[in-house]
Amino acid sequence: MPSSLAKHRRAAFARQNGRCHYCGFPMWLEDPAELSARFDLADHDAARLQCSAEHLVARQDGGGDGADNIVAACLFCNATRHRLSPSPDATKYRHHVQRQLDASGWHKKRLRQRLAEFSLRSMGANGICQGSARVG
The CB density around residue 97, as the number of other CB atoms within 10 Å, is 26
| 35 lines the binding site for Zn ion (CB under 5 A) | no
What is the closest distance, in whole angstroms, from the C-beta atom of residue 51 to Zn ion in the complex?
Answer: 10
Decide: 19 and 118 in contact? Cβ < 8 Å. Answer: yes
What is the closest distance, in whole angstroms, from the C-beta atom of residue 88 to Zn ion in the complex?
Answer: 14
Of 21-29, 54-62, 87-95, 116-124, the segment contacting Zn ion by CB under 5 A is 21-29
List the interface residues with Zn ion, window 36-75 (CB under 5 A).
Answer: 74
Cα 89 from Cα 20, distance rounded (Å) = 16
Cα 58 from Cα 42, distance rounded (Å) = 31
Count H helices, E strands: the chain? 6, 2
Cβ distance to Zn ion smaller for residue 62 or 117: 117
| 23 lines the binding site for Zn ion (CB under 5 A) | yes
Of 19-27, 51-59, 62-70, 120-128, the segment contacting Zn ion by CB under 5 A is 19-27
Q: Hey, what amino acid is at 43?
A: D
Q: x/- contact string, 80-119, with Zn ion (CB under 5 A)? A: ----------------------------------------
Cα 123 from Cα 51, distance rounded (Å) = 17
